[in-house]
């Protein structure tokens, strides 16, 4: 759809025969293949515009319909082309919900619109990477200082965008703590969120380290390269420990082995972080 829009908007007389344009040509049988290009004259562009409008339900020259799926459905045949996804404005939360939302039992969570959360009534936020760990949050050995936190599932795809939208509007005085897997991908998730003031990391023990996956760590080489070139501040000792261990530890292993979680500030560039539990 974007390719056709650009062809019509710029009145192109040819385009490269890419996989996208080969698909368009098979679908509409318009355009003349020559050499490595697909050629269009003015009449062929007009016919392509008409056929696309009939197939898609909107004028490709005017671009994608704006809005969510309900709004786009008024024009387009495929409502899923909407740029705004169902979860873009929503987050999945539990813990201490801000007023006027009601209190929740520890095993309950609530999907709410970002606009339904009063930022001024939020004391602090904990963002959790994995959904089952979000569900099991109260079973983790987390710091007592997080007892009044709004607990937020980071999510993936659209739901992650909802999380990012909420974090981007939080007042600066509200601390945000991120709880990811203990591996390069998890640390990069924490580093690239719109807001992150602290990281929850496990106190390492021999039993916990034995559960780590060298294969998963090795597969995250792109994330590792990014972290090597990033200013990690107070999280640098965490990354150093990961590189020394060369394993990926999942949140589920931290829970299963009862690992104590420690809150490590991003902004403190002088703190020495206790990584191992020397008492074990």
Ranges for all domains in the chain classified under CATH 3.40.1360.10? 90-265
pTM: 0.74
Report the distance separating Cα 24 and Cα 31, nearest Å.
9
In the chain, what percentage of residues exceed pLDDT 90? 74
Main-chain phi, psi angles of 23, to 5 degrees: -65, -40
Q: Are strands 198-202 and 261-265 parallel, antiparallel or unpaired?
A: antiparallel
Determine the 3-state secondary structure of 172 from DSSP.
coil
Contact 48, 3 (CB under 8 A): no
- Write out the two tokens for 18: 């890419």
Q: Which of 54, 35, 48 is nearest to 6 (CA)?
A: 48
- Write out the two tokens for 235: 């999280």
Rg (CA), the chain: 25
- Write out the two tokens for 139: 């079973």
Contact 203, 274 (CB under 8 A): yes
Contact 104, 94 (CB under 8 A): yes
Place of tokens 């040819």: 14
Contact 194, 174 (CB under 8 A): no
179-210 pLDDT per residue, tens: 999 999 999 999 999 999 999 999 999 999 99
Report the distance separating Cα 244 and Cα 236, nearest Å.
12
110-139 pLDDT per residue, tens: 999 999 999 989 999 999 999 999 999 999
pLDDT along the chain (280 residues), means of 10: 92 94 93 93 94 87 80 74 75 93 91 91 96 96 96 80 91 96 96 95 96 96 96 95 97 96 78 45
pLDDT averaged over the chain? 89
Determine the 3-state secondary structure of 205 from DSSP.
coil
CATH class of 90-265: alpha beta
Place of tokens 């679908």: 27
Q: Are strands 261-265 and 90-95 parallel, antiparallel or unpaired?
A: unpaired
Contact 217, 183 (CB under 8 A): yes
Instruction: Report the pLDDT value the prediction gives residue 67, as an integer from 0 to 100.
Output: 74
């Amino acid at each position: 759809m974007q390719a056709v829009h650009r062809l019509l908007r710029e009145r192109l007389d040819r385009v490269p025969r890419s996989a996208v344009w080969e698909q368009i040509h098979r679908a509409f049988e318009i355009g003349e293949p020559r050499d490595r290009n697909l050629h269009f004259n003015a009449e062929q562009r007009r016919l392509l515009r008409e056929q696309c409008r009939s197939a898609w339900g909107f004028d490709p020259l005017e671009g994608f319909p704006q809005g969510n799926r309900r709004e786009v459905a008024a024009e387009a045949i495929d409502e899923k082309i909407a740029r705004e996804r169902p979860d873009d404005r929503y987050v999945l939360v539990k813990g201490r919900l801000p007023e006027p939302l009601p209190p929740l039992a520890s095993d309950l969570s609530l999907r709410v619109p970002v606009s339904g959360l009063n930022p001024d009534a939020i004391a602090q936020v904990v963002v959790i990477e994995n959904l089952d760990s979000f569900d099991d949050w109260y079973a983790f050995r987390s710091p007592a200082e997080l007892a009044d936190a709004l607990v937020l599932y980071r999510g993936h795809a659209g739901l992650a965008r909802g999380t990012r939208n909420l974090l981007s509007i939080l007042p600066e005085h509200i601390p945000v703590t991120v709880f990811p897997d203990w591996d390069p991908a998890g640390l990069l998730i924490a580093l690239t969120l719109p807001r992150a003031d602290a990281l929850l990391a496990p106190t390492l023990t021999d039993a916990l380290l034995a559960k780590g996956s060298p294969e998963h760590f090795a597969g995250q080489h792109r994330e590792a390269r990014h972290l090597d070139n990033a200013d990690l501040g107070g999280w640098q000792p965490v990354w150093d420990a990961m590189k020394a261990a060369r394993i990926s530890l999942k949140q589920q292993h931290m829970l299963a082995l009862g690992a104590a979680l420690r809150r490590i500030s991003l902004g403190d560039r002088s703190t020495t972080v206790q990584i191992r539990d020397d008492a074990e």
